[in-house]
Amino acid sequence: MQKQLIAILIVLVVLVAGAVLSLNMEQKDIDPADDSNQALINASFRDADLIAVRIENAGGLLFQASKQTDNNTWYATHLADDLPYPIEKSLLASFVQTSMDANLVEAKSKRAENRARLGLSAITESDSAATLVNLEFSTGKVALLLGNQASIQNGQYLRYADESQMWLTDKSFSLPSDQYAWLSPNMLNLELADVKSLKRLGDETAWVIRSKEPADTGDSGFVLENFNEEEDELRFASIVDDVVESVMSLDFISVSTMTAEQWQDNAILASYEIEDIQGNIHSLRLIQESERYFAHFNTHGEQAYVNEWVYELQDYQARELLKTFDDFLVEKPVEAE
């Protein structure tokens, strides 16, 4: 009798364990062999060359770039007319490294009705929160749908674009926030040490800043020409250096192709010439259109690509470009008559 009871208990334990396992598998809708810690990117791609990347969501194309085979330089091609534009390579490299390091740590549902909850609906659906990433390697392609960040665990939900199985990965991915986020921020690839002079052109607004010669004070920096320190005073000691740094570190909100009409229909607010230590002249013009400010450069050599583009600037940066000679100086008190 006792042996029979033991046998019955064993059978019941096995049945209960089987039922629990079956319930868990039903909830995840997967095979037990699929729920394993495995690399996101297959080993066959790890030693291959990445040659192209495309990132898009329900709102449209965010980023598309390819590597030039002749010089291994990456250029974005998702802007107007597919004109190539240099990218910020460190941002793309960080994303690729995260992809290579990521592991699939927990299998989730395969059911289509559960995709929206994890942010993994196809981007063809208007309310999709997913981002579709296509990675093209020399040995093949990988297409990923990236979804929501995990709320409890670290990581992010994703699925392969051609599969229904959803996964939790142990990494979170940094993606471009808009079409311009992963573009190279350098409009002119010049350091402050490369600048010989900065000139604002114009009859009433003109001024010239030049780099200090060793005979000036023996230190680096810039001086404002025609500044008479015996009669005038600078607003603050670093204002001259700050203006040069502001011009050389201009950042853009957006990038668009240059059209002749844009510059014919709007008055030029400010024009500049930047001379580098090699004697090359780079020009800069500023216009205002519909309460937005745009800058255009004209240069040559490796940076000549900027000639094709117009850069929308932040208002505060545009105001820096509107400084007159008097804006450098402390305002003199008006003498009483």
What is the residue-wise DSSP string for 224-242?
Answer: ETT--TTT--BSSTTHHHH
Percentage of the chain exceeding pLDDT 90: 69
Indicate the residue type of 156.
Q
**Average pLDDT of the residues in 147-167:** 94
**pLDDT(73) > 60:** yes
309-313/292-298 β-pairing: antiparallel
- Give the start-to-end residue ranges of the domains of the chain: 33-169, 192-328
* Residue 66: pLDDT band with limits 50, 70, 90: very high
pLDDT at 15: 45
CB 196 within 8 A of CB 276: yes
Q: How far apart are CA 272 and CA 270, in angstroms?
A: 7
Reported as a single tens digit per residue, the pLDDT across 282-316 is 999 999 998 899 999 999 888 888 999 999 999 99
Question: What residue spans of 133-256 are helical by DSSP H?
Answer: 239-248
What is the residue-wise DSSP string for 118-133?
Answer: GT-S-TTSTT---EEE
DSSP 321: T
Name the more confident of 153 and 77.
77
CB 157 within 8 A of CB 173: no
pLDDT at 19: 40
* Residue 98: pLDDT band with limits 50, 70, 90: very high
Tokens 């394993």 belong to 36
* Residue 264: pLDDT band with limits 50, 70, 90: confident
* Residue 100: pLDDT band with limits 50, 70, 90: very high
pLDDT at 9: 46
Q: Please name the residues in contact with 202: beta carbons below 8 A apart, sequence gap of 6 or more.
A: 270, 271
Reported as a single tens digit per residue, the pLDDT across 164-212 is 999 999 999 999 999 999 999 988 888 999 999 999 999 888 999 999 9
Q: Where are the beta strands (DSSP E) in the chain?
A: 38-39, 50-57, 60-67, 74-76, 85-86, 103-107, 131-137, 140-149, 156-160, 167-169, 195-201, 207-211, 222-224, 252-257, 268-276, 281-289, 292-298, 309-313
**Average pLDDT of the residues in 310-334:** 92
Reported as a single tens digit per residue, the pLDDT across 215-243 is 555 566 999 999 998 889 999 999 999 99
* Residue 36: pLDDT band with limits 50, 70, 90: low
Phi then psi dihedrals of residue 89, to 5 deg: -60, -30
pLDDT at 229: 86
Q: Please name the residues in contact with 263: beta carbons below 8 A apart, sequence gap of 6 or more.
A: 285, 287, 296
* Residue 27: pLDDT band with limits 50, 70, 90: very low
Percentage of the chain exceeding pLDDT 70: 86
Phi then psi dihedrals of residue 163, to 5 deg: -130, 155
DSSP 249: T
**pLDDT(49) > 80:** yes
Mean pLDDT of the chain, nearest integer? 87
The token pair at 78 is 């998702």
